[in-house]
């Protein structure tokens, strides 16, 4: 299972993590960092993945 963390912003900067702990650490950074905490953040389970060629 993989986890994605992203911000609700025009440049979505999403990151995919292999572990929940890594994703949670990035999510917590995003919501607690004063330069980023005015933007909504999401921690999600990745249910499918497609990588373009």
Task: List % helix, strand, coil for the chain (3-state, nearest 5).
Answer: 25, 30, 45
Eight-state DSSP code of residue 18: S
Q: Give the distance from CA 7 to its chain's centroid.
A: 7
Residue 53 confidence class, pLDDT cut points 50, 70, 90: confident
pLDDT of residue 52: 84
Task: Give the pLDDT confidence of 3-52 residue by residue, as tens digits.
Answer: 999 887 766 668 899 999 999 999 999 889 877 667 888 999 999 988 88
Write down the pTM of the prediction.
0.78
């Amino acid at each position: 299972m993989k986890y994605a963390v992203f911000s609700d912003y025009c440049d979505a900067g999403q990151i995919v993590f292999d572990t929940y702990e890594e994703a949670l650490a990035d999510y917590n950074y995003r919501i607690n960092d004063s330069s980023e905490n005015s933007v909504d953040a999401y921690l999600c389970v990745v249910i499918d993945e497609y990588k373009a060629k």
